[in-house]
Amino acid sequence: NPSPYDVAQGGLGDCYLLSALCVLAERPGRVHRLFRTTEVNAAGIYGARLYLHGEKRLVLVDDALPARDGRPLFAASRTDGELWVSLYEKAFAKVYGSYAAIEAG
């Protein structure tokens, strides 16, 4: 089950996004609704639901996450095997064009 304690900020200044994810994680069902599927899949492709300018969008991302020396560069979960934090941050960055574009809100 998703938990606010899963959320760990990485090297990116996007605490505005991560704090919102923490609030959503207070009710795990809300986190489950952020994704088209909550199951790990062999293809490594996930659909994240975002609302942008009042419009609902489904953003597809893969589970290839930026890392250095085996450690995530950006947001991650403190719980082993939980990908939801990293995947949602990646979807948000994809919509805005890059991780750099979501720095500092």
| 15 carries an active-site annotation | yes
Burial of 84: CB neighbours in 10 Å, binned 0-12, 13-18, 19+? buried
CB neighbours of 40 closer than 8 A, spacing ≥ 6?
83
Catalytic residue among 4, 8, 15, 28, which?
Answer: 15
Question: For residues 4 and 25, is the Cβ–Cβ distance under 8 A?
Answer: yes
CB neighbours of 51 closer than 8 A, spacing ≥ 6?
57
Enzyme catalytic residues = 15
